[in-house]
Amino acid sequence: MSSAHLRELADLLIRWVHLIAGIMWIGNSLLFNWLDRNLERPEGSPEGFEGRIWMVHSGGFYDVVKKQLEPGQLPPNLHWFKYQNLSTWVSGIFLLIVVYYLGGAALMIDPSIRALDPVTAIAIGAGSIIGAWVVYDVLCRVLIKESMLFGIVGFALLAGVAVGLTKLLSGRAAYIHVGVILGTIMTGNVWMVIVPSQRELVAATQEGRAQDPSLGKRAKQRSIHNNYMTFPLLFMMISNHFPVTYGQKLNWVVLGVLMVGGALVRHFMNIRFVYSGWFFGATTTIVASVAALFVLTKPAAEAKGPPMAKVEFTRAYEIIGQRCIPCHSEKPTDELFKAPPNGVKMDSPEQIKLLAPRIKERAYSLKTMPLANRTNMTDEERAQLAAWVDQGAPIK
């Protein structure tokens, strides 16, 4: 069994686990955030009673109460919500290694951006993840009482990291690493702050000690941070399917629009129970973000110049054979792929003709194929393919 086939299977299985775990983690996070914002606390409620909510689901009624327990009142069965996060992050790291770090880090490097060796590319990616968590944690501790300043500084630093990664790595790899940075920060919040706070809360209740409210406040702060990172992270998890975003020259601006737009939509959803204009705010954010994406991702107008001489199919096929077919074939010869990416095959002239518009869009207009310019397609070859398509994509 070849190493490429093993990587393909590992990619499938780990991605499946990652998707399932992520749905459970994000789902729980959104549910508990919703619960906190909808709890009702009637007048005259006893001290320690934070609120109650009634819900109907799956053929029954649920009566959910949030309260502080008196020392020594810990129930025998207490359910924790933490391993969904851990399994999401661990599977995500394994997926990062299998897809991006193995195979000579082929998807990490775009020769048209910067010529890096695999070890350097991996070091940049892994170092950015570790460094981001350290800087974020320090900022939280220093600016714990200055939430607005923390948000401004934190976003500026994250934007700087995004710009730097897009200038060093392939656009696809840069996007996914920013996503892993957010996922790592969220996981660090869970295991370094939120879970220890919960353990101390449980221990104090068991031992009959007074509970330290500052721990709960700190944990809640980190939980809110996680909540706002959720929507941007979800986009980055699927960003590899949208080369029109990461393949742009201003891909870091596109990423910034998506991150800010996602976080703002999350914000309006958070305040919808106390702010009547939330729907207008969320709708305006979505419309503005989509408009910005349309402008940023719109292919540049082709320069008017003398028409290119007729490009015969033999020349187009020669270019496609050298630059595209190593991956997009029934049996790819590129060691990175066991099967043609997205099932796109260019083995026959008829297949190529059907794909002609897409070939021009990806190879010439967007320049997102070959992937990370893995086969070193030149600008002249891209222009020749575009001319062949414009001339009717003849195959005879």
Which of 242, 275, 296 is the C-terminal boundary of a domain? 242
Per residue in 260-283, pLDDT tens? 999 999 999 988 888 899 999 999
231 shares a domain with 124: yes
Q: Which residue has the tokens 């490009």?
A: 311
pLDDT number for residue 56 = 92
Of 242, 260, 282, the last residue of a domain is 242
**Same-domain pairing of 124 and 234:** yes
Identify the domain boundary among 242, 268, 283.
242
pTM: 0.81
Residue at 367 is within a domain: yes
String of DSSP letters for 134-180: HHHHHHHHHSTT-HHHHHHHHHHHHHHHHHHHHHHS-HHHHHHHHHH
Alpha carbon distances (Å) from 99 to 2, 295, 327: 16, 31, 15
Are 236 and 342 within one domain?
Answer: no
Domain check: are 234 and 325 in the same one? no
Same domain, yes or no: 238 and 386? no
Instruction: Let me know if residue 269 belongs to a domain.
Output: no
> Residues 68, 170: one domain?
yes
- Provide the residue range defining the domain that includes 205: 3-242
* Shared domain check, 175 and 33: yes
Instruction: Tell me, yes or no, whether 94 and 234 share the same domain.
Output: yes
Q: Flag whether 383 is in a domain.
A: yes
pLDDT of residue 302: 58
Determine if residue 393 is left, alpha or beta; phi over 0 gives left, psi from -120 to 50 gives alpha, anything else beta: left
Domain identity same for 202 and 320: no
Please tell me the total count of domains within the chain: 2
In a domain, 139, yes or no: yes
| 186 and 59 part of one domain | yes
pLDDT of residue 4: 65
What torsion do the CA atoms of 379, 383, 386, 388 make, to the nearest 10 degrees? -130
The H or E element that residue 51 is part of is strand 49-57
Q: What is the mean pLDDT of each run of 10 residues along the chain (396 residues)?
A: 71 90 89 86 84 91 87 81 90 92 83 82 95 94 83 91 93 94 95 91 83 82 90 91 86 94 93 90 96 87 62 89 88 79 85 88 82 83 90 86
Q: 303 in a domain, yes or no?
A: no
Q: Which residues pair with 49 in a beta bridge?
A: 67
Q: What is the pLDDT of residue 258?
A: 94
Q: Give the C-alpha separation, 347 to 52, whole Å.
A: 63
CA dist., res. 201 & res. 185, Å (int):
23
Instruction: Compute the distance between CA of residue 206 and CA of residue 262 in angstroms, rounded to an integer.
Output: 41
153 part of a folded domain: yes
Residues 31 and 174 in one domain: yes
Q: Is residue 215 part of a domain?
A: yes
